[in-house]
Amino acid sequence: MLKLSDEALGAVMLALQNSLMQQSDIVPVLKDFNFKVNDKKELYIMNPPLVKFDEGPDEDPDEYPVANGSE
């Protein structure tokens, strides 16, 4: 019996998150996954999805500087 590896489960979750953010169909992404069985007899996804987070037009990354502990 095969189970999903932690990485494969993460890839499915990323695909779901991306699908929800873009309001798109998740089925083509899932069908495009290429699987391999790792040495633990778990399914491993060879081509996990990439999720890109774009800054909105009103967001300025310099508006909220990262604290460096010197304040």
Domain enclosing residue 9, as ranges:
3-45
- The answer as to whether 7 is a domain residue is yes
Asked if residue 27 is part of any domain, the answer here is yes
Q: Is 22:58 a contact under the CB 8 Å cutoff?
A: no
Does 51 fall in a domain?
A: no
Q: How many domains does the chain have?
A: 1
Burial-class residue 41 by CB neighbours within 10 Å (0-12, 13-18, 19+): exposed
pLDDT tens, the chain, 71 aa long? 899 999 999 999 999 998 998 899 999 999 999 999 999 999 999 999 887 767 666 656 666 666 666 55
The pLDDT, as a whole number, for residue 27 is 96
